[in-house]
Chains A and B, each alone.
Chain A
Amino acid sequence: MKIKKRIPAYYWRRASQLACLALFFFLFIRTDYSGSDTIEYAVNVLFRIDPLLALSASVATGFFIVQMLPAVVTLLLTLILGRFFCGWVCPMGTLLDGCHKIVPSKGQGREGRYRALKFYILGFLLVGAWFGLPLAGYVDPFSILVRSLALAVDPALNALATTFFTSTYQQAPAWVNGLTEPLYAFLKATILPFNQKYYDLALLSLAILLVVFLLERLERRFFCRNICPLGAMLAVTARFSLLRGRAGTKCGTCRNCQDVCRMGAIDEERNISPLDCNLCLDCIHHCPGNKISFQFSSLQQVRPSFALSRRSFVGSLALGAALPFFLKSRTLARQSDPLLIRPPGALSEEEFVGRCVRCGECMKVCIGNGLQPAFLQGGVEGMFSPILKARTGYCEYNCTLCGQVCPTGAIKNLDVAEKKKVKIGNACFDLDLCLPYAKGIPCMVCEEHCPTPDKAIKFREVEVENSRREKVTVKQPYLVDELCVGCGICETKCPLPGASAVLVTSAGESRNPAQALPYTSRTGYP
């Protein structure tokens, strides 16, 4: 006789985790130019279901951001199911679970010493966002994950593949290449990025992710239990959730459920706290007496409670309210950094930083490799937000992908015609470096690449003395401010070694009228 075996409940959870993770990686890889001007789907959907980022960006801007509407669904589901999101959906959680064997935890962390920390962080972030210090993107799990994948892991993976397949291409005999070259072509067509990209803060982004993983040494899901402000927000919601785990009471000395609980959600009396339980369902499987069940009920008493210290909580709120005012005492508050060049469609600086969740998608999708994470150009509150670094890469004239993938609309989703009207900066020439000026050597690579149909870089033919004191006629470039969009291709392509002789600054950027340039056309120039 065949015995029908029931599929253990946690199998479903694992399946969901794997499916969500696969979907996540698929979307991540697809966050790229695909041969069409419009990108159909990108990893930005992940951020739009994130209620922490929805709330903090909305608080920072002062109204609800419509793009983030799906986040409400997450909250509603949490009201019913509890913190299922952390256990069944979150790709960061899945990766942490997956690396459990590689980074084994020392203890169970039953005492929950740091458990309240995430609530303080949440309070600090939201109050900070309100008063002008929007930092949610620093610690949001999706931001940490996508940012480090985009800025560090993805380019490193490509570098690894390129190095390996270059060595086989150059060193290995033909029959090896017969195997490796098709493999390389396959990888390039599937998981590898189209070309090698380079990013500032790559190591810092990676380090933050590594710390999240290394914290697993202290206890399982340390980040989720103690730090994750999204987890905190879901925990607050889950306090009222309908689906509750109920454990046995008269089960003697067995502590299996406590031992396997990855969230440390089960106390000595085997109460399962909805604040922590992420519904992984492992405890059901490990309970020898089959005493654990999950049922819908609204009458359950919540135990343990938040366990917050009132003093600490008020302190964190006060910090969030006070710190922003220190920002106003910086020189940056008076004069912004001229190299703070924002992507086309970026909102005014304050609103932009408020909405930007530091996910790094715009930088990943930037086909010119021009967008880079800011370090301190926009202040501490602007770290990891995108700026154009025109020596590394430029803004492709016909491309509008950054605005399409921005989950919060910090970069407006402009169509191509609108985008071409946006000026993000202005080029200027360093005449001590620029060859036709400084050395009498012909060049004009900047003019060649200038993409506006009526070129913003024009030239005059001038007779000059070169370094050998010979009279030569050269074409010297100059800029028509009205035509320049600040794309930076001139700075990228300037063939000089080291510093470019063309520099793009944020002068004249159309999002900030205070930066307006004195256009020649307004002063009587024909």
Chain B
Amino acid sequence: MDRREFLRQVALWSAGLSAGVPHFRIGATLAAERQPSLLTHATGKDYQELVDRVLGPLGGMGKFVRRGDKVVVKPNIGWDRNPDQAANTHPQVVRALVERALDAGAGEVLVFDRTCNEERRCYINSGMEDALVGIKDKRLKFFHPDDRKYVPVDIERGKAVRRLEIYRDALEADSYINVPVAKHHGLSRLTLGLKNSMGVLGGNRGVMHHSLGQKLADLATVIQPKLTVIDATRILLNNGPQGGNLADVRVLDTLVASTDPVAADAYATTLFGLKPEEIESTVAAYGLGLGEMELTKIRIIKA
């Protein structure tokens, strides 16, 4: 099955023309055929410029966004917390990515997250609304998810979860750019890129927590970002994922970027003094062949 067939199923289901739940069984590229994963990281105070630096060695935004593409930039805006508290993706990082995608000629750029706290409070207090409102471009759509647009998808390659409700725009995006914030999480120790994809899920997301690592890997078989940019400009070391205490925050002024979602998570884990194999979702996704977790096999470039 190819991507076009899958998108046809999504469209038919959304239009009520088909009772059949869309199936997703597009495989990942076999590890042997893949280029070694490339990962960049950079440190600096100017977050907009930092985005350009990490994107440079990866080929720039033009590598991921073609003219007319439907682009999803998916930050973490899950919590009613301000930027300093490190619970949400830094708004300046998101803004820079959106601007680069627009510059690259994207047909539209969608920014959204299904929040945990009240939607409007999260969008406003995360600083996201302020940061994005300045971009006067009609192609940018920053919106709250619409309940009507979650599509059930059968996850053929899933081991722990067989069906998920996924936001339609996330499925249909030509280019999906994942922009998580790196932070502590009680259950999974850290929340990084794979966990951030939960923001496109509908329904009762809490059940993901029963076997979270494997379920996140299963979700990652469907939501495959072309680019992952992990925001470690400041990281939350404790009382995550929402924090609230500045004593738990450490400023690193760092961004990590990769085309390989597993490699990005694996490297970001080391910023907390942990090893990639300590994060279940990284191990599970690696097991499904979704990316590289062995740091020695990743080409890491300091940009």
Contact = CB atoms under 8 A, between A and B. Distances in A.
Contacts of B159: none
Contacts of A166: 148
B92 interface: no
A166 B187 CA distance: 36
A398 B121 CA distance: 9
Interface residues of B, number: 33
Contact of B242 (A194, A195, A396, A451): A451
A333 B101 CA distance: 65
B75 interface: no
Interface string B102-129: 0000000000000011111100110001
A435 interface: yes
Nearest to B241: A448
Interface stretch (B63-71, B205-213, B260-268): B205-213
A399 B120 CA distance: 12
B59 interface: no
Contacts of B245: 453-454
Given A443-B187, A449-B242, 13 more contacts: A33-B118, A166-B148, A396-B121, A441-B210, A442-B187, A443-B206, A443-B209, A448-B185, A451-B244, A453-B245, A495-B204, A495-B206, A495-B209
Interface in A429-444: 435, 441-444
Contacts of A368: 118
30 contacts: A35-B124, A162-B147, A165-B148, A166-B148, A169-B148, A194-B119, A367-B118, A367-B120, A397-B80, A397-B117, A398-B121, A398-B125, A399-B118, A441-B211, A442-B187, A442-B211, A442-B212, A444-B186, A444-B209, A448-B186, A448-B241, A448-B242, A449-B242, A451-B242, A459-B186, A493-B116, A494-B206, A495-B204, A495-B206, A495-B209
A194 B118 CA distance: 11
Contacts of B32: none
Contact of A454 (B118, B125, B210, B239): B239
B239 A442 contact: no
A455 interface: yes
B14 interface: yes
B187 A444 contact: yes
A447 interface: yes
Nearest to A494: B206
Closest 6 CB pairs of A and B: A495-B206, A453-B244, A453-B245, A170-B16, A444-B187, A445-B206
B225 interface: no
Interface in B217-261: 239, 241-245, 248
B120 A33 contact: yes
A307 B260 CA distance: 86
Of listed A35, A165, A453, residue having the most chain B CB within 10 A = A453
A171 B210 contact: no
B15 interface: yes
Contacts of A399: 118, 121
A395 to B, nearest CB: 11
A452 interface: yes
A475 interface: yes
A396 to B, nearest CB: 5
Nearest to B14: A170
B15 A475 contact: no
Interface of B: 14-16, 80, 116-121, 124-125, 129, 147-148, 185-187, 204-207, 209-212, 239, 241-245, 248
Interface of A: 33, 35, 162, 165-166, 169-171, 194-195, 367-368, 396-399, 435, 441-445, 447-449, 451-455, 459, 475, 493-495
A162 B148 CA distance: 9
B118 A170 contact: no
B15 A442 contact: no
Nearest to A166: B148
Nearest to A369: B118
Given A170-B148, A447-B186, A495-B207, A194 B120 contact: yes
B244 A396 contact: no
B206 A475 contact: no
Nearest to A493: B206
A452 B239 CA distance: 9
Given A169-B148, A448-B187, A459-B186, A442 B210 contact: yes
Contacts of B147: 162
Contacts of A367: 118, 120-121
Of listed A162, A171, A451, A475, residue having the most chain B CB within 10 A = A451
B209 A445 contact: yes
A442 B209 contact: yes
Contacts of B244: 451-453
Contacts of B120: 33, 35, 194, 367
B119 A455 contact: no
Contact of A435 (B15, B186, B210, B241): B210
Contacts of A435: 210
Contacts of B124: 35
A35 B125 CA distance: 9
A448 B185 CA distance: 7
Contacts of B211: 441-442
A375 to B, nearest CB: 26
B191 to A, nearest CB: 9
A495 B208 CA distance: 9
A170 B15 contact: yes
Contacts of B117: 396-397, 451
A185 B245 CA distance: 37
A453 B243 contact: yes
B185 A398 contact: no
B278 to A, nearest CB: 14
B130 to A, nearest CB: 11
A445 B208 CA distance: 9
B119 A447 contact: no
Nearest to A439: B210
Contacts of A495: 204-207, 209-210
Nearest to A445: B206
A62 B116 CA distance: 43
Contacts of A170: 14-16, 148
Nearest to B146: A169
Contact of B187 (A195, A451, A453, A475): A475
A33 B121 CA distance: 9
A449 B209 contact: no
A368 B118 CA distance: 7
A460 to B, nearest CB: 12
B119 to A, nearest CB: 7
Nearest to A450: B242
A449 B248 CA distance: 17
A195 B115 CA distance: 13
Contacts of A443: 187, 206, 209-210
Nearest to A196: B147
A195 B119 contact: yes
A166 B148 CA distance: 6
A368 B80 CA distance: 12
Contacts of A475: 186-187
Contacts of B125: 398
Contacts of B207: 495
